[in-house]
Amino acid sequence: MHRPRSALSAAALALASGLACPAAAQISVGAGETLTEADLNAGSFQGQAFTLGPGTIFDIDFGGTLGPVGDSTILPTGVPFDFQSSTVRVNNGGVIATGSVVSNAIVGLFFGGGASNGFAARAGSQISMLGGVVGNFASALDSTINIVHGGFGQSFTAGAGADILITGGGIGNGFTAIDGATVTLSGGVITDFAEFRSGSVLTVAGGAVERELQVVGGAVRLSAGSIGSGFGAFTSATVDVTGGSIGANFSTDSEVTISGGAIEDGFFALMGSRVNLLVQDLSLDGVPVSLTPGEALTITQRGGALLEATLADGSFIDFTLNNIPAVGQDFFDISATLTATLAGTVPAPGAGALLVVCCAGGVTRRRRRGAALSIVRGREE
C-alpha cells in the first residue's frame, strides 16, 4: 500500500532535518568505502553492527558508495534487496551504484548525491528527491516518489503502484507511465516525449509538461500549469481541462472535456473523438446559441464555421470548425462529436439537442455573420 502523501512529505522533512526516527544504528559510508549487499546481509560494516529495520540509517557521504544491491539482470523487474524500512541518506558526493534494485527502502537523495543509471525502486520504497539526481533508465513499481529538487534522468519508467509527486525539479526526456501509475505535477517539469499508457493518470496542477506528451489509454487532468505543443490523446484516453494551457497541435481520437484554460491553434478532433465544452455562453459565426440547462447541445456544423464560447471558468475559447485538415488550423472530423453544455448543469441521460447550421462553408473561414440557425431539441438526428 502507498504511504499517504502527507506522511510522505513528513518523511522527506525528517530525512532533510536528520530527524528520521531515533536510530537503532547509524552507519556512515565515507570516502573510498563501499557498503555492499554482503555487508547488509551480515549486519556489519567497518566494525559497526546494525540490524535492518525502522530506525537504522545509512549515511552515504562524500566519496562513499552503496551497492550495487539487488539484481537488475533477472527479468522482468529484477530482484530487489529488502531494506526492511531502513533509511538511506545519499549526501553530497555519495552515490548508489549502477543497477541497484531496492524494496522497502526509505531513500533521500540530497544536493550533490545521486543514484547511477538503472536505479530501481520496488515494493514499499519511498524515494525523496531533495536536490539529488537519479541517472537514466530508472524505474519504479509499488513505490512513492517525491521530487522536490533535482530529479530523474532520461527514460524513467513508472509502472503499477508507482505514485509520483513533483513539486520542483523534474523528470528528463522519454518518461513512460504504464499500468496505472499516477503522477501529480504541481511544480517543476516533465520534459519532452513523455508517454502515459494503460490506465496511468497525469494530474497537472502547476509546472510544465513540455513537448510531445502522448497519452494512450491513460488520463490527463489539467487545472493549472501547461502542457506543451504536440500533445496527443488516443485509444480511449480521457482529458479533463479545467484550467492551465495546452500548446499548439493538440490531437485526439478520444474524449476531451474543456471547462477552462486555454488551447492554442491546431486542435485536431479526429474520427471517433468526443469533445465536450462546458460554457457560460456560445456563438457560431457571431450568432448567439441558446443553451438549455441540463441539456447537451450537439454541434454538427463544419465547413470553417467559427465557434466562440466563454468557458465555465470565464476563459474565452474559439475553434474554427474545419472538416478538411490544414497545417496550423483547427480540424473537426465529420464523425467527431462536439457538444456544449451550460456550465453548472449536468445533462440527464439521453437528454440532448442537435444544432444544425444551414449554410455553405469552406476551410478556415473565420467569421461569417447572419447564419440561419435551426435547433432540434430533445434528441440527436
Q: How confident is the model at residue 377 (pLDDT cuts 50, 70, 90)?
A: very low
Least confident of 19-23, 166-170, 173-177, 345-349: 19-23
Amino acid at 198: S
* Residue 190 to residue 211: CA distance in whole angstroms: 9
Q: What are the tens digits of pLDDT across the range 226-266?
A: 999 999 999 999 999 999 999 999 999 999 999 999 999 99
For residue 8, being part of any structural domain is answered with yes
What percent of the chain stands above pLDDT 90?
A: 83
Q: What pLDDT is recorded for position 326?
A: 93
Sorting pLDDT into bands at 50, 70 and 90, what band is 220? very high
379 is a domain residue? no
> If you search the block for the grid coordinates 497545417, which residue do you land on?
327
Q: Distance from CA of residue 379 to its chain's centroid?
A: 37
380 residue type, one letter? E
Q: Is residue 184 a part of any domain in this protein? A: no
Q: Flag whether 287 is in a domain.
A: no
- The Cα–Cα gap between 338 and 251 comes to 14
Q: What is the mean pLDDT of residues 133-142?
A: 98
Higher pLDDT, 371 or 156: 156
Question: Mean pLDDT throughout 128-152?
Answer: 98
Which residue range(s) make up the domain with 146? Answer: 1-153
User: In this structure, is residue 85 part of a structural domain?
Assistant: yes
Q: Which pLDDT does position 364 carry in this prediction?
A: 37
Say which amino acid occupies 305. A
Identify which of 180, 249, 190, 250 has the alpha carbon closest to the alpha carbon of residue 219: 180
> What pLDDT does 352 receive?
58
**Is it the case that residue 12 has pLDDT exceeding 70?**
no
Q: Is 33 helix (H, G, I), strand (E, B) or coil?
A: coil
Any domain includes 66: yes
Which cell goes with 95?
Answer: 552515490
- In the prediction, which pLDDT does 292 show? 94
**Cis peptide upstream of residue 4 (ω within 30 degrees of 0):** no
Comparing CA positions, the residue from 318, 235, 217, 231 lying closest to residue 271 is: 235
In-domain check, residue 109: yes
Residue 29 and residue 65 in contact, taking contact as beta carbons nearer than 8 Å: yes
The pLDDT tens digits of the residues spanning 315-324 come to: 999 999 999 9
Instruction: State how far the Cα of 266 lies from the Cα of 9, in Å rounded to an integer.
Output: 40
pLDDT at 351: 57
Higher pLDDT, 259 or 347: 259
Q: Which residue has the cell 547509524?
A: 26
Asked whether the predicted pLDDT for residue 286 surpasses 60, the reply is: yes
Each residue's pLDDT tens digit, 76-108? 999 999 999 999 999 999 999 999 999 999 999
Spatial distance between the Cα atoms of 67 and 34, rounded to a whole number of angstroms: 7
pLDDT of 44 reads 97
Would you say 99 and 121 are in contact if contact means Cβ atoms under 8 Å apart?
A: no
For residues 81 and 42, what is the distance between their CA atoms, to the nearest angstrom? 13
Residue 42 carries which DSSP code?
A: H
For 361-375, what is each residue's pLDDT tens digit?
333 333 322 333 333
Provide the percentage of residues in the chain whose pLDDT is more than 70. Answer: 84
Q: Are 37 and 67 in contact (CB under 8 A)?
A: yes
Q: Cell 473537426 appears where? A: 332
24 confidence band (pLDDT: 50, 70, 90): confident
Kindly report the number of other CB atoms within 10 A of residue 375's CB atom. 14
Distance CA 128, CA 12 (A): 6
Tens of pLDDT along 30-62? Answer: 999 999 999 999 999 999 999 999 999 999 999
- Give domain status of residue 23, yes or no: yes
Q: What is the pLDDT of residue 227?
A: 98
Q: Would you place residue 344 in the very low, low, confident or very high pLDDT band (cuts 50, 70, 90)?
A: confident
Q: What angle do CA 327, 328, 333 make, to 5 degrees?
A: 70
d(CA 244, CA 317): 13
Q: What is the mean pLDDT of the chain?
A: 89
Our count of domains for the chain comes to 1
